[in-house]
């Protein structure tokens, strides 16, 4: 099967009613490919004990879904859009480990979806000058402190806009995660900014361009992608009811480090930030150094490079199995890695990796540092 067919059948299966990202993956695991799912008979589905509603939806809707998918594929090809499948090597590996991650993403621009340091900056659309200045300061100082940096946000008005613009101004790669298709920029006021971002970064979405309309629920859902693609999340300003807090909630579920800027108790735009700090959901951040230290990114700062030659040999007190040896070898070579990086380097299943890391930590072979990074003892 060629690449275009693979994309076409992925689009088609994604368009079947009731086939969300999780059901899609379950079906593909059973039938080995989206095409095989679409070619399956009622008897094939019954043999695998598939849900009757799903069976009927596939059999009754696949022709219409295929026609719609063909239109979407034509739009993708005509507009030089990247279609990134979950099985592709350039699919964001951090997001890939998250439950319900999109089975296909659509991208425009020039970006690395697996950048070394990825930080999400989110906040209210109605931000104050305090929030704007702090975002500009943080992005500027991060750009001077570490290389291979990426800023992720949602291209919304307010904090998102200032985060992207600060990244552009400091020549830092930045990706805007959209809540709609790539056929339009929303809000329209950010068209020029979006164009600038395409030169060093770009736009990414899970929504189709030929059928998706502006829908408020999409923006809440896209927040899981912002959280999933990042190492950590900075909530700059947010009231109690805010999309930024939804992003923080997803980040907490994905075991990301959450930061929040504190504000006055009387400021509505800081109520959400103060709340997640008080509830120990977020680390209080007053300057860039707080982020660098908590994430252990100060160890990788261009100003404070540490040679791996000074890494002491690990004291191994027992025999290691093959999986443990892979982990130890990577840490010996790299010094420190977070769990996402270890997963990418070793290709070990995330649940197996988590269990093995815990075992190695209990046996005093490695230690877990702030920012969910691991190093040998």
- pLDDT tens digit sequence for 67-96: 999 999 999 999 999 999 999 989 999 999
pLDDT the model gives residue 303: 41
pLDDT the model gives residue 121: 98
Q: DSSP characters for 183-224?
A: TS-SSGGGHHHHHHHTTSEEEEESS-TTT----HHHHHHHHH
**178, 216, 348 from 123: Cα distances, Å:** 15, 16, 35
SS3 105: strand
364 C-beta neighbours (distance < 10 Å), count: 10
CA–CA separation, 9 and 58 (whole Å)? 12
The whole-number average pLDDT for the span 144-160 is 95
The average confidence (pLDDT) of the chain is 90
The DSSP symbol for 313 reads P
Element (H, E) at 120: strand 117-122
CA–CA separation, 139 and 163 (whole Å)? 7
Residue 314 is encoded by which pair of tokens?
A: 């690990």
How is the chain split into domains, by residue range? 3-78, 94-299, 308-376
94-299: which CATH topology? Answer: Rossmann fold (3.40.50)
- Give the pLDDT band (50/70/90) at residue 313: low
CA–CA separation, 4 and 69 (whole Å)? 11
Looking at per-residue pLDDT, the higher value among 274 and 299 belongs to: 274
> What's the predicted TM-score (pTM) here?
0.81
CATH 1.10.10.10 is right for the domain spanning 308-376:
yes
pLDDT the model gives residue 156: 95
Backbone angles phi, psi at 118, to 5 degrees: -125, 120
The whole-number average pLDDT for the span 131-153 is 95
255 C-beta neighbours (distance < 10 Å), count: 13
Whether residue 226 is predicted with pLDDT greater than 70 in this model: the reply is: yes
Residue 185 is encoded by which pair of tokens?
A: 């920029």
The rounded percent of the chain whose pLDDT value lies above 90 is 72
pLDDT the model gives residue 370: 65
> In the chain, how long is the greatest CA-to-CA distance?
64
CA–CA separation, 169 and 371 (whole Å)? 27
The whole-number average pLDDT for the span 346-358 is 86
Tens digits of per-residue pLDDT, 324-340?
Answer: 899 998 888 878 888 88
Residues 318-352: b if buried by 16+ CB within 10 A, e if exposed: eebeebbebbbebbeeebbbbbbbbbbbbebeeee
């Amino acid at each position: 099967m060629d690449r275009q067919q693979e994309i076409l059948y992925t689009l088609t299966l994604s368009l079947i009613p009731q086939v969300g990202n999780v059901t899609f993956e379950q079906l593909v695991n059973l039938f080995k490919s989206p095409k095989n799912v679409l070619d399956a008979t009622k008897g094939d589905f019954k043999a695998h004990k598939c849900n009757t509603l799903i069976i009927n939806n596939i059999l009754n809707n696949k022709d219409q879904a295929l026609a719609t998918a063909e239109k979407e594929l034509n739009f993708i090809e005509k507009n030089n859009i990247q279609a990134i499948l979950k099985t592709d090597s350039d699919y964001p590996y951090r997001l890939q480990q998250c439950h319900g991650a999109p089975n296909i993403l659509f991208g425009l621009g020039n970006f690395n979806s697996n950048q070394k340091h990825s930080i999400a900056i989110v906040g209210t659309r109605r931000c104050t000058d305090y929030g704007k200045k702090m975002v500009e300061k943080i992005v500027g100082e991060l750009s001077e402190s570490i290389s291979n940096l990426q800023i992720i946000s949602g291209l919304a008005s307010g904090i998102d806009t200032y985060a992207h613009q600060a990244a552009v101004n400091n020549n830092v790669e930045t990706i805007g995660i959209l809540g709609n298709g790539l056929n339009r920029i929303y809000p329209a006021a950010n068209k020029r900014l979006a164009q600038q971002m395409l030169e060093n970064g770009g736009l990414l979405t899970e929504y189709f361009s030929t059928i998706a309309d502006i829908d408020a629920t999409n923006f809440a859902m896209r927040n899981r992608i912002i959280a999933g693609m990042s190492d950590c999340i900075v909530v700059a300003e947010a009231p109690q009811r805010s999309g930024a807090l939804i992003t923080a909630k997803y980040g907490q579920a994905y075991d990301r480090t959450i930061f929040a800027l504190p504000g006055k108790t009387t400021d509505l735009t800081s109520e959400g930030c103060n709340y997640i700090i008080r509830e120990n959901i977020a680390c209080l951040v007053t300057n860039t150094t707080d982020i660098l230290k908590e994430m252990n990114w100060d160890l990788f700062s261009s100003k404070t490079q540490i040679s791996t030659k000074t890494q002491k040999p690990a004291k191994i007190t027992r025999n290691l199995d093959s999986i443990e040896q892979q982990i130890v070898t990577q840490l010996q070579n790299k010094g420190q890695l977070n769990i996402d990086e270890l997963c990418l380097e070793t290709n070990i299943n995330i649940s197996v990796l988590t269990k093995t890391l815990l075992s190695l930590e209990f046996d005093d072979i490695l230690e877990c540092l702030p920012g969910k990074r691991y190093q040998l003892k």
